[in-house]
Amino acid sequence: MAPLSGITILDLTHVLAGPFCATILADLGAHVIKVERPSTGDDTRAFPPFTNGESAYFAALNAGKRSIALDLKAEADRQIFEALLARADVLLENYRPGVMERLGYGWQDLQSRLPRLIYGAVSGFGHSGPEAGKPAYDMVVQARGGVMSITGEEGGPPVRVGASLGDIVAGMYLAQGVLAALYDRSRTGLGAKIDISMLDCQLAIQEHSIAITTATGIPPGRTGARHPTITPFSTYRAADGFFVIAAGNDALFARLCAALGHPGWATDPRFASNAARCEHVALLKRLIEAVTLGAPCAEWIATLDAAGVPTGRVQDMAEVLRDPQLLARNMVVPVAARPGGPAFTAAGNPIKMSTLPDLRQRGPAPALDADRAAILGWLSGPPEGAS
Amino acid sequence: MAPLSGITILDLTHVLAGPFCATILADLGAHVIKVERPSTGDDTRAFPPFTNGESAYFAALNAGKRSIALDLKAEADRQIFEALLARADVLLENYRPGVMERLGYGWQDLQSRLPRLIYGAVSGFGHSGPEAGKPAYDMVVQARGGVMSITGEEGGPPVRVGASLGDIVAGMYLAQGVLAALYDRSRTGLGAKIDISMLDCQLAIQEHSIAITTATGIPPGRTGARHPTITPFSTYRAADGFFVIAAGNDALFARLCAALGHPGWATDPRFASNAARCEHVALLKRLIEAVTLGAPCAEWIATLDAAGVPTGRVQDMAEVLRDPQLLARNMVVPVAARPGGPAFTAAGNPIKMSTLPDLRQRGPAPALDADRAAILGWLSGPPEGAS
């Protein structure tokens, strides 16, 4: 039995942070019932790219979930929602603070009626503070939270992290709060409210830049692909692309120099210590690339692997999805097609557990409201567990 | 009582991914006993920057933990470690696969002796697959996992994400696995092994780039600070820095145009739809910046806030640490000084829970082996719970 078998998640969230959290919980064995707005459903159903008219983005993020469309302002649908709440272990929502209260489903109300319910909320700025209630997008919190200020070329403008870090990290912290609350409920019998702010989460993942800023008074800047205080620790050009050399200490640097055919660099006073290498970082990069441009990435990676120097190719996503190590770990999985629908591809479950069979295929993403009849049937059945 | 009160984490990890996981669990109420190598301890004790000779990096990441130095190859220390294992709920390790087995503490051994123990491992490539056992650094998995290929200027080289995403995200997934295992143990009485690969986790956070690559056959490239398929959704220059405008639909674009004093742009055929705006993205950026360069960020943010257009400043870390919303949420907290030692600053706990008093100060980071006597005293006391 999967760790979260028997757990039912009632998921009012849409777009990314909340659905990402629900997927984490589903991958651990929970049943996720996605409650969507009638007629349009989750906004991401309309997000490109499409295959046969269906969003590949939606399909990957919502694989294996079930869907029911409910209008939470209509009495008949509210009755269904109430019945779902009575059976749910966890309610997830990502409305602006105050919306759930206006619907009559605020935490205060629910807690008194359903003391075991775990209520997980994710919003741009959280449910407290001067900006509680303001909307936010991924890019706004990437900008506000500082990660863009340390991402980009030296001397260049700030750059957005290509993955939607603002949403993803918030979804992960929400999952952690929900899991901790489930454990605690096993002892106390009581649920909890979790209030996650996307902006808070951006600060939480800034380890060294907080230390640098507070200890030195100077906020770190942008250093392109290079580590700010370790050399050589960057990308380098090969004949056919970029690869990484991560030679974090003198012993690894000596091995690198030997592998590149220039053992003398290791004792050159300009490169003999990390401090000296950092001082001559531009020169050392030119010397290394004058060698590495002469052969393709694969050759250098084989050479450095054999020498024990950490290395790896800068892979584009097409290369990533063919990476043998990722394939061996079931990290690229098909999303099953619904009858007549297209198949998709999604990431696998990175949480490999001895108590959890590894995911090799994801169930299809639901059509809007596709599971209404089954869910209503379940609600009219005996009260034990999700179907 | 905090959700993880009474839970003891025996933490063999060092540097970042593992200690980051242990901090998440500590913030939820667990006791963390950091088992360090004698004489040098965790490598990050030697990581700059320093205050009064102590690493600000180590202090922030290990605040509130306790330290004991043990040589797991020396018999006397192994006996202490065995006694700790017998009392621990969770063991964390980030050695290369095989090291724990050689020490006699592999999961197979431990599981038979200590069936309730939860064993959490994080490594570069995981415990299976052709590259199991290879070392990896943050930058290697950022490169291999694809995030660098979609981060950087359009036409420019790949850029590293400024935060150590390779480690951080792996530490978060490990925490999720441990929390799920704690919940499951409350039902089954049995522990579990969790095997996290830093590379796997990089793929897990790539939502739209997997969808784009598999649905279109073309891997996404780099687009600087700009959203690849929504316009205007990027950074813009003001008189004193960069700020973000995230006007994701026609209604928001019309409000933006009015707020900038150019309502006519909204009906200009070159900008009348998102598709048209994406086609003329460079022109629109010039037009917007010709306006926004005339006033400072704060003024534009006030104007756009009032117009309901999502916006925010690109803050450097010094600005982030003064952000009123983050301060109101207790996201910047002091790390208490040990007697005679320096104080530091760290991020607060982003998991705000009704069952968990919010963290307003972190306890001091331990000196190496500082808690040996207290830990040995606890081991010789009654068996209930951590001290």
Confidence of residue A386 (pLDDT cuts 50, 70, 90): very low
Residue B90: its H or E element: strand B90-93
Question: Beta-strand (E) ranges in A15-110?
Answer: 31-36, 50-51, 54-55, 66-69, 90-93
Q: CA dist A379 to A79, A83, A88, A117, B44, Å?
A: 11, 7, 11, 17, 53
Residue among A1, A148, A199 whose CB faces B225 most closely? A148
pLDDT of residue B95: 94
Residues A19 and A164 in one domain: yes
Residues of B in contact with A221 (CB under 8 A): 316
Contact yes or no for A318 and B213 at CB 8 A = yes
CA distance A119 to A12: 11
pLDDT of residue B384: 62
- The number of helices, as runs of H, and strands, as runs of E, in chain B is 16, 14
Nearest to A140 by CA among B240, B228, B235: B235
- Output the six-digit token pair for B347: 């991020």
Residues of B in contact with A233 (CB under 8 A): 137, 139
Residues of A in contact with B126 (CB under 8 A): 325, 329, 352
CA distance A351 to chain B (A): 6
The answer to whether residue B240 scores a pLDDT higher than 90 is: yes
CA distance B308 to chain A (A): 9
For B288-331, what is each residue's pLDDT tens digit? 999 999 999 999 999 999 999 999 999 999 999 999 999 999 99
The answer to whether residue B249 scores a pLDDT higher than 60 is: yes
For residues B322 and B386, the model is more confident at B322
B27 in a domain, yes or no?
yes
* Candidate from A109-113, A226-230, B18-22, B346-350 with smallest mean pLDDT: A226-230
Contact A61, A11 (CB under 8 A): no
Nearest to A88 by CA among A377, A368, A375: A375
For B59-98, what is each residue's pLDDT tens digit? 999 999 999 999 999 999 999 999 999 999 999 999 998 9
CA distance B49 to A301: 32
Last residue of some domain: A268, A297, A315? A315
For B10-27, what is each residue's pLDDT tens digit? 999 999 999 999 999 999
CA distance A204 to B193: 26
Q: What is the dihedral of CA B224, B228, B233, B234, to 10 degrees?
A: 0
A106 in a domain, yes or no?
yes
CB atoms within 10 A of CB A316: 20
Residues A337 and A299 in one domain: no
* Candidate from B103-107, B240-244, B379-383 with smallest mean pLDDT: B379-383
**To the nearest 5 percent, what fractions of chain B are helix, strand and coil?**
40, 15, 45
B65 in a domain, yes or no?
yes
The answer to whether residue B130 scores a pLDDT higher than 90 is: yes
Residues of B in contact with A293 (CB under 8 A): none
Residues A287 and A347 in one domain: no
Residue among B3, B56, B215 whose CB faces A214 most closely? B56
Contact yes or no for A164 and B207 at CB 8 A = yes
The answer to whether residue B139 scores a pLDDT higher than 70 is: yes
Ranges of H-type helices in chain B: 17-27, 56-62, 75-87, 99-102, 107-113, 138-144, 165-188, 198-204, 208-216, 250-259, 274-279, 281-292, 297-307, 317-320, 324-328, 372-379
Residues of B in contact with A215 (CB under 8 A): 49-51, 56, 344
CA distance A368 to A45: 9
B218 in a domain, yes or no?
no
CATH at residue B244: 3.30.1540.10
Average pLDDT, chain B: 95
Residue A325: its H or E element: helix A324-328
Question: Beta-strand (E) ranges in chain A?
Answer: 8-11, 31-36, 50-51, 54-55, 66-69, 90-93, 118-123, 193-197, 233-238, 241-246, 311-313, 332-335, 344-347, 352-353
Residues B311 and B352 in one domain: no
The answer to whether residue B280 scores a pLDDT higher than 80 is: yes
CA distance B340 to chain A (A): 17
Q: Which of A274, A316, A323 to mutate to test the interface with B (most CBs of B within 10 A)?
A: A316
- Output the six-digit token pair for B368: 């190496």
* Number of independent structural domains in chain B: 2
Cross-strand partners of A33: A10, A66
Last residue of some domain: B295, B316, B337? B316
Q: Which domain holds residue A255?
A: 233-315
Contact yes or no for B147 and A164 at CB 8 A = no
Residues A159 and A34 in one domain: yes
The answer to whether residue A117 scores a pLDDT higher than 90 is: yes
Residues B22 and B143 in one domain: yes
- ipTM given for this complex: 0.96
Residues B128 and B171 in one domain: yes
Residues A283 and A157 in one domain: no
For A201-252, what is each residue's pLDDT tens digit? 999 999 889 999 999 999 999 999 998 888 999 999 999 999 999 997 899 9
For A164-203, what is each residue's pLDDT tens digit? 999 999 999 999 999 999 999 999 999 999 999 999 999 9
CA distance B247 to A143: 15
Confidence of residue B229 (pLDDT cuts 50, 70, 90): confident
For A155-173, what is each residue's pLDDT tens digit? 999 999 999 999 999 999 9
Contact yes or no for B219 and A325 at CB 8 A = no
Give the angle subtended at the CA of A379 by the CAs of A377 and A385, to the nearest 5°: 110
CATH at residue A187: 3.40.50.10540
CA distance A382 to chain B (A): 22
Last residue of some domain: B284, B301, B316? B316
Query: What residues of B are annotated to the active site?
Result: 227
Residues A199 and A270 in one domain: no
Residues B262 and B363 in one domain: no
For A300-319, what is each residue's pLDDT tens digit? 999 999 999 999 999 999 99
Contact yes or no for B183 and A4 at CB 8 A = yes
What's the N-to-C CA distance of chain B in angstroms?
Answer: 15
pLDDT of residue A387: 42
The answer to whether residue B386 scores a pLDDT higher than 80 is: no
Rounded to the nearest 5°, which phi and psi values hold at B106? -65, 160
- Mean per-residue pLDDT, B217-225: 94
Residue of A nearest to B183 (CA): A183
Residues B247 and B336 in one domain: no
The answer to whether residue A355 scores a pLDDT higher than 50 is: yes
Which of A14, A127, A227, A280 is catalytic? The answer is: A227
B329 in a domain, yes or no?
yes
Strands A54-55 and A50-51: antiparallel
Residues A109 and A52 in one domain: yes
Contact yes or no for A145 and B49 at CB 8 A = no
A161 in a domain, yes or no?
yes
pLDDT of residue A48: 87
